[in-house]
Amino acid sequence: MGEGRQKRIEKEIVEAEATMNPPNLLDEAFGLSGGRVILVEDCVETSGAFVLHHLIKRSLSSSSPSPSPAGGGGTLVFVALAQPFSHYDRIMRKMGCNLSIQRDNKRLHFIDMLKLKLQAEYKGEIGRNVIENGLAELYAKIQRTVEVSSFKEQGKGCITIVIDDLSLLEIAAHGSGDHVLDFLRYCITLTSEQDCSLVILNHKDIYSSDEAPRFLLNLEHLADVIIKTEPLTTGLAADVHGQLTITRKGISNKHWYSANKISNFHFKVKENAVEYFYPGSQH
Amino acid sequence: MATSRSGRPSSFSRAATSSPASSAATATSSGVKLGPNGAAYVSSGIPDLDRILGGGFLLGSLVMVMEDAEAPHHLLLLRNFMSQGIVHRHDLLFATPSADPRAFLGTLPAPVSSSSSSSKHEQDQGLRIAWQYKKYFGEQQATEAHKDIKRDFSNDFDLRKPLERKLLGAQSIDCISIQDSANLALLHDRCSTFLTKFPRSDGSTGIAGRIAIQSLCAPQCGYFEMDWDMVSFIRSLRAMVRSSNAVALVTFPSALLPPSFSKRWQHLADTLLSVRAIPDEDKELAKLLTGYQDMVGLLHVHKVAQINSQVPTILEATTYSLKLQKRRSLVLEGLNQAPVDGASGTSYGTSSSCSTSGKGSSIDF
């Protein structure tokens, strides 16, 4: 009973926040439809994890057209390779989103892949089949979860798959980028079949040298929305933590065509929220 | 706010704000300090570095130090880290590419007269001039009042005095030579068995462990054509450390790695530092910075661990000078621009173009 009450209070808080806080610049840049495949690119100096947290919160407490009585929002399939659950739980709790409760409610499916190993390591030769099988297994897990929850949801809330972060999957696959790309293509097919969206975090600067840009180019090609976080060119500042560049790919269908839309603004990360503002417009 | 925080007053206020927090939240059980966001810190062995990083090295984090290819400054960090661990009776795992790892333990520094406060007083009495100097150098003075609290957590180390043998003997210190081992499986297994001793338990901070790995990708290790093996070793080390009550400090010569792998390593680090030697007779730099003569190198803070928080730590400065105080203990100081003498001072508006300022002034005026 106490838990139910807590849930209700939390729901009220979320709703109150939604009415108090109008969508910020990041939400605006996404537009109404968002995108099916969202790619977040960051670099050593400026972590893009906060964008991920924002998207996690958005997908869990999304204002779907008909919020279900069980608490509204969508379902999240979280493939975590970078951090343990406790890390995300603490952060999201400060943002007003209790991951533990969401997990108990089966709205969050947390797949802990921190120690994922795809091949017998340090054996010198790499078993390609082992990597393939490992990734296929991971995909099967995601697919099963998505199908079960989409059956339960009956198209009410949307399902989001989050991968944090892809470069670690690449490491787990022992640098076999083609396999990782294949895995992603499967995931993207799944998103279009089950009407869910995919959020990927990756690091841009890994691919900046001319050794391995192919992987990133492929990735950018697959993405509908690309969010880049960069430090300011002028260096570090306490008031501005960096800048965001959001590229929304143009969509063309039978009736109309929209061009690529690029927006650019600065941000400051706080514990419970992120401030977004146009350069120089901070008060 | 940023502007007001620059310069000395800021460092004073920072020390002032950090010390009540530390005194309030310390549960200095065997050198572990609790911080915000459920974080627990252990000392890096350099009090200044602890202060800069906001408390020390986070338990459960991976600290990486990028080496200077030409100078062994990373060893200073490594030695102090290990010595501090031994002083706090933390278990230690040390891996090095040299053939005899035990020999390195003989070079660890000893703490400066750690507990005898009487000798401290005597020092203060005797060295009036040094005291005067201290006012100009760093925050020593500000933290002086809280020394008693902080002493338990971090010590100053005398680089000239080796650590007592009996301390080394009493401690459980695991040493591995990673020279010419065909693959990383051995190191991986040793690390994982070491870390099983420190399971992470919420709430209570038990004993802490330290892993120190020196020059992981150095040519002596013989890990050629094993870039992916090394990066996946680091990844699994990071995952293992995350779920245990330990800190891993890994130094690596980043210049030897292909650029894309170097970036991968940097991304895997929770706290990323780099050290750089300064050239001996760099006249320009000597003119530009005060205390150039005392500097032994530069320390650059690239990344500060953010566990359980999404807010990045923005430091007042990212580059600090490594100095030896009284030729003994290691201190870190912000870079101070030297006052400019009158002749060239008129055109000193743009600090970056100081080399051309001489010419410019003769034409302009």
**Predicted pLDDT at B250:** 95
Whether A222 maps to a domain, the answer reads yes
Which is it for the CA torsion B323, B329, B334, B338, positive or negative? negative
Q: Which residues of B touch A270 (CB under 8 A)?
A: 311
Range of the domain at A128: 41-227
pLDDT in tens, B48-78: 999 999 889 999 999 999 999 888 899 999 9
Q: A123 to chain B: which residues are within 8 Å by CB? A: 183
Write out the two tokens for B69: 């290819």
Q: Which chain B residues have a beta carbon less than 8 Å from that of A209?
A: 258-260
A4 — pLDDT class (breaks 50, 70, 90): low
* Per-residue confidence (pLDDT) for residue A128, from 0 to 100: 65
CB contact under 8 A, A115 and B258: no
> Looking at the complex, does the CB of residue B121 fall below 8 Å from at least one CB of chain A?
no
Contact A50/B37, CB-based, under 8 Å? no
Are the beta carbons of A237 and B303 separated by less than 8 Å?
no
- Looking at chain B from residue 287 to 306, which residues have their Cβ under 8 Å from any Cβ of chain A? 302-303, 306
A48 belongs to a structural domain: yes
Higher-confidence position of A26 and A106: A106
Q: Any CB–CB contact under 8 A between B160 and chain A?
A: no
Expressed in percent and rounded to 5, the helix, strand and coil fractions of chain B are 40, 20, 35
Q: What is the pLDDT of residue A155?
A: 57
Domain definitions of chain B by residue range = 8-335
Chain B residues touching A87 at Cβ < 8 A: 307-308
The whole-number pLDDT of residue A142 equals: 93
Q: Which of A124, A171, A270 sits opposite B231 (nearest CB)?
A: A171
Residues of B in contact with A229 (CB under 8 A): none
Q: Compute the nearest-CA separation of B6 from chain A (Å).
A: 11
Question: Is residue A45 included in any domain, yes or no?
Answer: yes
What's the rounded Cα separation, in Å, for the pair B196 and B103?
27
Q: Do the domain assignments include residue A110? A: yes
pLDDT in tens, A159-178: 899 998 899 999 988 888 88
CB B215 within 8 A of CB B67: yes
User: Which of A53, A171, A240 would best serve as a mutation to test chain B binding (most B beta carbons within 10 A)?
Assistant: A171
Give the residue, B202 or A28, on which the prediction is more confident: A28
How far apart are the C-alpha atoms of A235 and B335, rounded to whole Å?
16
Q: Report whether B30 contacts B198 (CB < 8 A).
A: no
Within a domain: residue A92?
A: yes
pLDDT of residue B150: 42
Q: How many Å apart are CA A199 and CA A49, to the nearest integer?
A: 12
Asked if A205 lies within 8 A of B309 by C-beta distance, the reply is no
Residues of A in contact with B315 (CB under 8 A): 236
Is residue B216 classed as helix, strand or coil in its secondary structure? Answer: coil
pLDDT digits (tens, 9 = 90+) for A179-233: 999 999 999 999 888 888 899 999 998 887 766 688 899 999 999 899 999 998 8
In a domain, A31, yes or no: no
CB contact under 8 A, B312 and A237: no
Say how far apart CA B209 and CA A33 lie, in whole Å. Answer: 49
Interchain proximity A53–B315, CB inside 8 Å? no
Rounded to whole angstroms, the Cα distance separating A43 from B270 reads 13
User: What was the pLDDT predicted at A279?
Assistant: 84
CB atoms near residue B91 (< 10 Å) = 19
Residue A84 has pLDDT above 70, yes or no: yes
Using the Cβ of B190 and the Cβ atoms of chain A, whether some distance falls under 8 Å is answered with no
C-beta atoms surrounding A29 within 10 Å: 21
CATH code of A212's domain: 3.40.50.300
Q: Alpha helices, DSSP H only, in chain B?
A: 8-25, 47-52, 73-87, 101-105, 117-126, 128-136, 140-144, 147-153, 165-170, 185-195, 227-242, 259-268, 283-288, 342-345, 354-364
Residue A139 burial (10 A CB sphere; 0-12, 13-18, 19+): middle
The pLDDT of residue A62 = 62
Distance of CA B166 to CAs A72, A86, B207, Å? 63, 40, 21
CB < 8 Å to B236, chain A: 115, 117, 121
pLDDT reported for residue B130: 54
Q: Which residues on neighbouring strands pair with residue A245, listed in sequence order?
A: A228, A264
Interface of A with B in 173-192 (CB under 8 A): 174-175
Give the confidence band of A74 by pLDDT, cuts at 50, 70, 90.
Answer: confident
pLDDT at A158 over 70: yes
- Say whether B229 and A236 touch across the interface (CB within 8 A): no
Report the mean per-residue pLDDT for chain A: 81
- ipTM of the complex, rounded to two decimals: 0.85
CATH class of residue range B8-335? alpha beta
- Smallest Cα distance from A255 to chain B, Å: 42
How many domains are contained in chain A? 1
Residues 6+ apart with CB under 8 A from A107: A60, A71, A73, A74, A75, A76
Q: For chain B, list residues with pLDDT below 50.
A: 1-27, 114-127, 138-151, 343-365
Least confident of A90-94, A248-252, B302-306: A248-252
A32 vs A241, higher pLDDT: A241
